Amino acid sequence: MTALQEHARSYFEIRRALGYKLVKSERLLGQFLHFMEAEGEEVVTTELALRWATSPADAAEQWWAHRLGVVRVFARHLANMDPRTEVPPNDILPERSRRAIPYLYTDDEVLRLMAAAAALSSPLRAATFTTLIGLLRTTGLRVGEAIALDRDDVDLDEGVLLIKNAKFNKSRLLPLHETTTAALASYARQRDRLCRHELGPSFFITRSGTRLQYCIAYLEFSRLLDRAGITPRSPSCRPRMHDLRHSFAVSTLIASYREGVDSEGQIAVLSTYLGHVHPRTTYWYMSGAPELFRLAKERLEVSTRWDR
């Protein structure tokens, strides 16, 4: 193992200890280090990093920027141990965020989605997707967290979900509303009655009794959107399954403003419930919600008048 590879190993150990997974970054950085080795170079320089990052000449500039960004972050770490290291300046191929505008589902749209799911020809598939959509909307779970649930993770007696090894390797317990618990219990009974195959540990299953995979869920959800007549609001605001999470977060914050609950405290609670590392991530969920901005503005105006 070369000195640079040893530094890279230590670098990923440190960052993973902070909760980052970095699977793609580790692969890209490994490719860069192999490139340096082939070039006979032992010191990271801006010229080397830029030449490697832009080596697929027909790639998109955003991809070049991402590749260079991986090297840039590593170079900052490496410069603490090897002062010869050059850190590529931020203004060279800067990464530009292309985050999608959240599609905030109305209650009517969610009901239409669930009705479309309930009309699927397979009773088991209908039960699975009706319940999955309802769970995502009422808890704000990530799709991956929901389909990763095992039976033992769903405590129907206590009304609690155990979310294991989620994003940033964090686990958490989620208390459920009694209506959500009842819906999950109803699904569990239907699932066990309708599935004719040997059941594995997964809570949400396919017709063959296996765990529901993300690609299957994504394709079926796309079909359900069409059947429910839900279309994009703009080229950058398209309905996605993940937006059920955004809708939950925004509706929770709107309810807190209407009820006069301390918004700062509610953000902290919601951040924990959603499994965010920092509340600032939760604040981003406020984007694209005019009613939420209006309520926040009204709260601020009232607070300002009292301070005078």
Q: What is the 3-state secondary structure (H, E, C) of 156-217?
A: CCCCEEEECCCHHHCCEEEECCHHHHHHHHHHHHHHHHHCCCCCCCECCECCCCCECCHHHH
Sign of CA dihedral 138, 142, 143, 148: negative
Strand partners, 155: 160
Spot the catalytic one: 187, 245, 246, 273.
Answer: 245
List of residues 6+ apart from 92 with CB closer than 8 A: 46, 50, 68
Query: Could you tell me if 219 and 114 lie in one domain?
Result: yes
Mean pLDDT of 97-103: 72
Query: Could you tell me if 211 and 247 lie in one domain?
Result: no
Residue 285 is among the residues annotated as catalytic for this protein: yes
Spot the catalytic one: 77, 151, 238, 242.
Answer: 242
Sign of CA dihedral 281, 284, 286, 288: negative
- Span 6-57, pLDDT tens digits: 989 988 888 877 667 788 899 999 999 999 999 999 999 999 999 999 987 8
What's the pTM value of the predicted model, to 2 decimals? 0.67
List of residues 6+ apart from 140 with CB closer than 8 A: 244, 245, 248, 249, 252, 273, 274
Quote the CA–CA distance of 208 and 210 in Å, as a whole number.
6
For residue 186, tell me if it sits in a domain: yes
For residue 86, tell me if it sits in a domain: no
- Span 182-217, pLDDT tens digits: 999 999 999 999 998 877 899 999 998 999 999 999
Instruction: Name the domain count of the chain.
Output: 3
Q: What is residue 72's predicted lDDT score, i.e. its pLDDT?
A: 94
Q: Tell me the HSE value of 149 on the side-chain side, using a 13 A CA sphere.
A: 26
Query: Could you tell me if 224 and 250 lie in one domain?
Result: no
Residue 245 is among the residues annotated as catalytic for this protein: yes
Q: Domain limits at 260?
A: 243-307
Please choose, from the candidates 60, 52, 56, 47, the residue with its C-alpha nearest in 3D space to the C-alpha of residue 32. 52
Quote the CA–CA distance of 243 and 109 in Å, as a whole number.
12
Residue 77 is among the residues annotated as catalytic for this protein: no
Output 93 or 79, whichever has higher pLDDT: 79
Does the pLDDT of residue 84 top 70, yes or no?
Answer: yes
For residue 84, tell me if it sits in a domain: no
Supply 122's token pair.
Answer: 């397979």
Distance linking the first and last C-alpha atoms of the chain = 66
Spot the catalytic one: 164, 167, 207, 211.
Answer: 167
For residue 206, tell me if it sits in a domain: yes
Residue 305 is among the residues annotated as catalytic for this protein: no
Supply 38's token pair.
Answer: 């082939």
Average pLDDT score over the chain: 85
Query: Could you tell me if 212 and 111 lie in one domain?
Result: yes
Q: Which of 194, 228, 262 is the last residue of a domain?
A: 228
Q: Which of 228, 256, 275 is the last residue of a domain?
A: 228
Query: Could you tell me if 112 and 224 lie in one domain?
Result: yes
Strand partners, 163: 172
For residue 303, tell me if it sits in a domain: yes
* DSSP 8-class letter at 45: -
Query: Could you tell me if 184 and 213 lie in one domain?
Result: yes
Query: Could you tell me if 184 and 147 lie in one domain?
Result: yes
Query: Could you tell me if 171 and 204 lie in one domain?
Result: yes
Quote the CA–CA distance of 253 and 241 in Å, as a whole number.
20
For residue 164, tell me if it sits in a domain: yes
Q: What is residue 158's predicted lDDT score, i.e. its pLDDT?
A: 96
Query: Could you tell me if 121 and 34 lie in one domain?
Result: no
Supply 253's token pair.
Answer: 């914050």
CATH classification at residue 209: 1.10.443.10
Query: Could you tell me if 156 and 265 lie in one domain?
Result: no
Query: Could you tell me if 249 and 223 lie in one domain?
Result: no
Supply 61's token pair.
Answer: 């500039």
Residue 278 is among the residues annotated as catalytic for this protein: no
* DSSP 8-class letter at 140: -
Does the pLDDT of residue 115 top 50, yes or no?
Answer: yes
Number of H helices and E strands in the chain, helices first, is 13, 3
Q: Give Cα 25 to chain centroid, integer Å.
A: 18
Query: Could you tell me if 250 and 219 lie in one domain?
Result: no
Q: Which of 166, 194, 228 is the last residue of a domain?
A: 228
Contact 42, 85 (CB under 8 A): no
Spot the catalytic one: 7, 125, 142, 191.
Answer: 142
For residue 100, tell me if it sits in a domain: no
Cα dihedral 238/111/296/177 (nearest 10): -120
